[in-house]
Amino acid sequence: MSPVRFLLIEDDPDHAALICNAITQAGRGCQIERVASGEAALEILRRAGPRRHDVLLLDVNLPGMDGLHVLEALKRDPALTSLPVVMLTTSATPPDLEAAYRHHANSYVVKPASFVEMKQVMALIAAYWADVNAPPE
């Protein structure tokens, strides 16, 4: 079972701490790298390429360049388009959801209010992407 390497793009330090905490408790030896803005994330990803991370957790409501724009930029970049992106948001409105999928988000998760659910969701995400990225037997 290979560890899943997350890149978390989240400006709110509390949410970031919560998500990191939840991912850590999901086990699997997950690794988390966190950046606070979309611009910073794009810079890191363009430098490091698609292999350094297994899955991106991208907050929608970011200051400056918002999550949907970051998503659009990622999916348009041939070098990064294969990176799986999970959108994280507090909004469950249909237009936001539709916009995310229109820009080829791989998944869309509404930040759960309860920490128990948060842990479950992060564990599911980790398990799913760990399997997807596992080398063929």
CA nearest 62: which of 21, 102, 12, 111?
12
Fill in the per-residue mask, 38 to 57: x = in contact with other proteins (CB under 8 A), - = not in contact: --------------------
Contacting residue, 4, 7, 8, 18, with other proteins by CB under 8 A: 18
Return the number of the residue (113 or 137) whose C-beta is nearest other proteins: 113
118 belongs to the binding site for other proteins (CB under 8 A): yes
33 belongs to the binding site for other proteins (CB under 8 A): no
136 belongs to the binding site for other proteins (CB under 8 A): no
Q: How far is CA 24 from CA 5, 14, 82, 109, 118, in A?
A: 11, 15, 25, 18, 12
**Smallest gap from residue 51 Cβ to other proteins (A):** 26
User: Per the structure block, which two tokens stand in for 17?
Assistant: 């701490």
Residue 113 and residue 102: Cα distance in Å, rounded? 26
CA nearest 70: which of 126, 10, 6?
10
Contacting residue, 3, 29, 43, 115, with other proteins by CB under 8 A: 115
CA nearest 7: which of 28, 31, 24, 37?
31
Query: Which residues contact other proteins by CB under 8 A?
Result: 11-15, 17-18, 21, 25, 36-37, 61-64, 90-91, 93, 111-116, 118-119
